[in-house]
């Protein structure tokens, strides 16, 4: 379990996974399609979430509409955002692919698309300490009100210069 989260009475922690500063070549071949121009943060978030998904594949496949994700922390697609600024500065235009991949919500979007999740999602791009309380309140609400049966907490930490850490925690709603 992440250091940030204390289990709430409405959920139990199933698994914790980690990834850090992956490059495209390190991403599992089954996940790579269409992601060559994605940001390295996206690759690491996807690798972390997909790893947890594999551990609980059978249970998760039965309820794709009930799987939510909350990403929080100061990690965002820094490398791709920098490319957007550079392309605009030098050419006064930007590639649509680069622009889309610079979105702070790109990692969760890719996870939902690749893994078939259709539950609630939110990205809290803010310091982890401030975001954790918000994430816990949202998680408790989504789980208690049956908006989600399973939920991923995805914590990101930006170490600058392309270095970052991703920690994912998969939880399941428990009967009250």
Tens-place pLDDT, residues 59-103 = 999 999 999 999 999 887 777 777 888 888 898 888 777 777 778
What is the reported pLDDT for 75? 86
Tell whether 58 is covered by a domain.
Answer: yes
Tell whether 62 is covered by a domain.
Answer: yes
What is the reported pLDDT for 24? 87
How many domains are there within the chain? Answer: 1
Tell whether 158 is covered by a domain.
Answer: yes
162: left (phi over 0), alpha (psi -120 to 50) or beta: left
Which tokens belong to 86? Answer: 């550079």
Query: Would you tell me how many other CB atoms lie within 10 Å of the CB of residue 25?
Result: 8
Residue 37 belongs to a domain with what CATH number?
A: 3.40.47.10
Tell whether 49 is covered by a domain.
Answer: yes
Tell whether 6 is covered by a domain.
Answer: no
Tell whether 52 is covered by a domain.
Answer: yes
Tell whether 144 is covered by a domain.
Answer: yes
Question: Could you tell me the residue range of the domain that residue 71 belongs to?
Answer: 11-76+104-173
- Helix axis angle for 78-91 and 40-55, nearest 10°, is 150
Cβ partners under 8 Å of residue 78, min gap 6: 39, 41, 158, 162
What is the reported pLDDT for 78? 77
What is the reported pLDDT for 139? 93
Which tokens belong to 75? Answer: 């990690």
What is the reported pLDDT for 8? 66
What is the reported pLDDT for 1? 42
C-alpha 31/C-alpha 26 separation (Å) is 10
Tell whether 1 is covered by a domain.
Answer: no
Which tokens belong to 78? Answer: 């820094």
Q: What is the mean pLDDT of each run of 10 residues along the chain (176 residues)?
A: 59 94 87 87 94 96 95 85 84 81 87 96 92 92 94 89 86 87
């Amino acid at each position: 379990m992440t250091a940030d989260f204390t289990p709430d009475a409405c959920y139990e922690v199933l698994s914790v996974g980690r990834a850090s500063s992956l490059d495209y070549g390190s991403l599992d071949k089954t996940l790579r399609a269409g992601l060559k121009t994605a940001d390295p943060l996206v690759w690491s978030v996807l690798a972390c979430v997909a790893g947890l998904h594999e551990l609980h594949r059978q249970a998760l496949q039965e309820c794709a509409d009930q799987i939510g994700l909350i990403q929080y922390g100061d990690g965002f697609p820094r490398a791709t955002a920098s490319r957007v600024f550079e392309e605009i500065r030098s050419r006064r235009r930007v590639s649509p692919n680069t622009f889309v991949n610079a979105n702070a919500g790109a990692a969760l979007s890719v996870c939902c698309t690749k893994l078939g999740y259709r539950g609630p999602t939110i990205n809290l791009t803010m310091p982890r300490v401030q975001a954790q309380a918000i994430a816990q309140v949202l998680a408790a609400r989504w789980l208690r009100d049956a908006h989600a049966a399973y939920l991923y907490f995805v914590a990101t930490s930006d170490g600058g210069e392309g270095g970052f850490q991703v920690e994912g925690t998969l939880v399941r709603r428990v009967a009250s």
